[in-house]
Structure 1
Amino acid sequence: MNPAPVQLMTQPDLKNPDLYVEAMPHAVFAELRASSPVYWNPESDGSGFWALTRHADIVSVSRQPQLFSSAYENGGHRIFNENEVGLTGAGDSSVGVPFISVDPPTHTQYRKVIMPALSPMRLGDIEARIEARTRTLLSEVAFDEPVDLVPLLSAPLPLLTLAELLGVPAEMWRDLYHWTNAFVGEDDPEFRKSPEAMAEILGAFFAFAQELYASRRAQPGPDIASVLANAQVDGEPIAFRDFVGNLILVLVGGNETTRNSLSHTVAAFANDPDQWNLIRENPGLLATATAEMVRHATPVIHMRRTAMSDTELGGQQIRKGDKVVMFYASGNRDEAVFDDAGRFDVTRRAVQHVGFGTGQHVCVGSRLAEMQLRVAFRLLAERVRHFELIAPPRRFRSNFINGLKNLEVRLVSA
């Protein structure tokens, strides 16, 4: 029996991807935080879920993996049940379980394998290489005239970094871009045109993954693909299916967060030129301002858990088996945590956002993502006096990724 509906000004369906097409529904989230912070959201095609909208509840659930599971067999980390429709919601039976959909202690084993591959010692002077790539990309941008910054900078920058980390040719970034859009775009007809088209995309990706897996097993290197292909988890070598699942996770996690934080932040600077002037006058602010960029953008809208026993959250009784969905986009605008929470402010300090998650599943590549944002905006500050938004960007139709398909701007020369 579902809980009685809470009396709100509206009864929003937070699962409906149309809610996010025009803009992030911050007013809806604000109403829920005030009147129903643990909100029962019915589903037309499922059992319903509890939506968490306050920062404190999101942090609490994230730090209790024994009580709130993200494991594949319990439904996984998305609103839909991965164990029913696959990791990408496309019935992709050949895709195994990524470590984001695994609970401790096995999840901890994965992190111990992967974290050294992202350590400063392993990455060496990667910041210099990111800077060189950024300068090359900016050299191809036409200043003082309208351009779409997504294919020119926001998308290629993190994907070129991913290509390096995977040890694949740089020119593959366009394939990676195409694949990752399809993996997370289950509700967007531009990315999921038909089941046949998705099958073709998955087929091309599986062929790439098979070759990568075989080559890295035969001749391991220092790259992340080698680390994943040769991982030992629970005393057993990782299977190809699980290598594929984790490869998708690396591609999506290493691309979407940086790409969309960069795009949203350019739009934020266009809307508030005084904030951009602060960066231009004091680029040292970028050492901490990247956290505010991620908070304000919140590129990942939600993550899901499943209650493993009866419990209580925010005065609501949560039953064993209930889905609990953490809306990061709401937690990052929680007035109880952030002063003037809707305002983009590059001078904020100690920004405890949940844009990279928190607790056991905090993003392993968060420092690398912030590094790329820091480098990109430092170099932009050398050349751009201000940004002019030419037209509202087209958004992903998605309840998961707060993505921009394009960003028509003019970069006015300094």
Structure 2
Amino acid sequence: MIEALTTPDLKDPDLYLDRAPHDVFDRLRTAQPVYWNPEKDGSGFWSLTRYADIVEVSRNPALFSSASENGGHRIFNENEVGLTGAGESAIGTPFISIDPPTHTQYRKFIMPAVAPGRLAGIEERIRERCLALVEKIPLGEPVNIVPLLSAPLPLLTLCELFDLPAEMWVKLYDWTNAFVGEDDPDFRQSPEAMATILGEFMAFCARLFEERRAAPGQDLATLLATMEVNGSPVTLREFTGNMILALVGANETTRNSLSHSIVAFAENPEQWDRIRAEPDLIKTAVREMVRHASPVMHMRRTAMADTEIGGQAIAKGDKVVMWYIAANRDESVFPDPHRFDVGRGNIQHLGFGTGQHVCVGSRLAEMQLRVAFGILAERVARFEVLSPPRRFRSNFINGLKNLDVVLIPG
């Protein structure tokens, strides 16, 4: 046991199955903030657990690459096992796995398209959808809040952005779980099942690609299908890769921040009392919700030259994994970091990343959290969690499969 505690394997998905291992990250941040993690099936990687180190790496894409040809943005090497971790596939490279300046071209197109200020009336439409979802939740009775609110809310928003039928959110939900759940048997039941899911999704993308190119609209799918990068139209493979990125990014962050925050409010009812007493507090409290939840636990880079991080020599070609879940509990940045405190203000957490690859939909995610908890604050006096939720078996997504809870009316 002592050896296991001394040299934790941060890649092992079982480490995250029962809990988010904040104690492990706390100890590493103090004793070994730039920690070498051997791999049974790879070359090993450096783990960064301090806020400042992660910001430094994130803001230097020329030295620390996330390009697919250099391994990509996950611990596993995308150029060896494919984007989904399911082996060789025809899925293209999403722009998260492309370095500047090409990455910058993608962002130039996409960021304005998902900026709330450019999406006329979207907050009111999110509110209408959220109201409809909340009104169907029986107050004072046990419910699983994930399929009733946490999952459908962001995916219904995505259906609007892609101009897809609202009822398609269920299919999008299944697909995204499969894409991020490479280590979870509930999501990757067999290679054959995954091949079927990929085939289904790729057929959907092929139809959507052709439809949007033939009859362009004002939606995000049209933008992804018709943009030109480096002077050339995007291909179907590139479109498919970016569709996966949009699905995962739009779903997992908002969904799991919402679920984790309900747990946090159940454990800290005085914080919920503050939200109900000071509704304007939600505007900045959503940042604390994402910090505390850290729904995306890591991103990876590859060193393109010999360098140094936090006094530790890093060799050219070494993998460098940035643990956002650790940096968001860095006591040098966030006093009393494990405390859930909606009064922290307009904090600069790393829940959406930072630097060149900061999440393009972060403001839209915050809007949905703000709307959802604003509506809940009008109806719910307390959250009571009935049993520990089942967690994703994943070193990437800090996800809850279910959340059995009672919403106490008041």
Residue of structure 2 equivalent to 1:215: 211
Map Cα deviations across residues 320-375 of structure 1 (whole Å, 9 max, x no partner).
00000000000000011100000000000231100000000000000000000000
Correspondent of 1:300 among 293, 296, 299: 296
Are the structure 2 counterparts of residues 298 and 375 from structure 1 closer, same or farther at C-alpha, using a change threshold of 3 Å? same
Q: Which runs of 5+ in 1 are unaligned?
A: 1-6
Map Cα deviations across residues 13-63 of structure 1 (whole Å, 9 max, x no partner).
000000000100000000000000000000000000000000000000000
Residue of structure 2 equivalent to 1:3: none
Q: What does residue range 148-187 of structure 1 map to in structure 2 within 5 Å? A: 148-187=144-183
Task: Give, in angstroms, the shift of residue 138 of structure 1.
Answer: 0.7
Question: Which amino acid in the other structure matches residue 134 of structure 2?
Answer: L
Task: Give, in angstroms, the shift of residue 119 of structure 1.
Answer: 2.8
Correspondent of 1:274 among 270, 275, 284: 270
CA contact (8 A) 1:73 1:83 kept: yes
CA contact (8 A) 1:117 1:222 kept: no
Task: Give, in angstroms, the shift of residue 115 of structure 1.
Answer: 1.3
Question: Which amino acid in the other structure matches residue 138 of structure 2?
Answer: A
Task: Give, in angstroms, the shift of residue 315 of structure 1.
Answer: 1.5
Residue of structure 2 equivalent to 1:41: 37
Q: What does residue range 51-200 of structure 1 map to in structure 2 within 5 Å? A: 51-200=47-196
Are the structure 2 counterparts of residues 267 and 67 from structure 1 closer, same or farther at C-alpha, using a change threshold of 3 Å? same
Question: Does 1:389 find its partner at 2:381?
Answer: no
Question: Which amino acid in the other structure matches residue 44 of structure 1?
Answer: K
Task: Give, in angstroms, the shift of residue 122 of structure 1.
Answer: 3.2
Task: Give, in angstroms, the shift of residue 121 of structure 1.
Answer: 4.6
Residue of structure 2 equivalent to 1:333: 329
CA contact (8 A) 2:116 2:363 kept: no
Question: Which amino acid in the other structure matches residue 294 of structure 2?
Answer: T
Are the structure 2 counterparts of residues 173 and 9 from structure 1 closer, same or farther at C-alpha, using a change threshold of 3 Å? closer
Q: What does residue range 346-365 of structure 1 map to in structure 2 within 5 Å? A: 346-365=342-361
Are the structure 2 counterparts of residues 39 and 411 from structure 1 closer, same or farther at C-alpha, using a change threshold of 3 Å? same
Map Cα deviations across residues 227-268 of structure 1 (whole Å, 9 max, x no partner).
000010011000100100000000000000000000000000
2: CA distance, partners of 1:273 / 1:119: 33
2: CA distance, partners of 1:77 / 1:260: 20
1: CA distance, partners of 2:88 / 2:198: 8
CA contact (8 A) 2:155 2:169 kept: yes
Normalising by the residue count of structure 1, what TM-score does the alignment of the two structures yield? 0.98
Question: Which amino acid in the other structure matches residue 349 of structure 1?
Answer: G
Task: Give, in angstroms, the shift of residue 67 of structure 1.
Answer: 0.2
Correspondent of 2:260 among 241, 264, 283: 264
1: CA distance, partners of 2:279 / 2:90: 47
CA contact (8 A) 1:154 1:262 kept: yes
Residue of structure 2 equivalent to 1:239: 235
Question: Does 1:19 find its partner at 2:28?
Answer: no
Could you say what secondary structure the match of 2:407 adopts?
Answer: strand
Task: Give, in angstroms, the shift of residue 273 of structure 1.
Answer: 0.4
Map Cα deviations across residues 366-397 of structure 1 (whole Å, 9 max, x no partner).
00000000000000000001000100000000
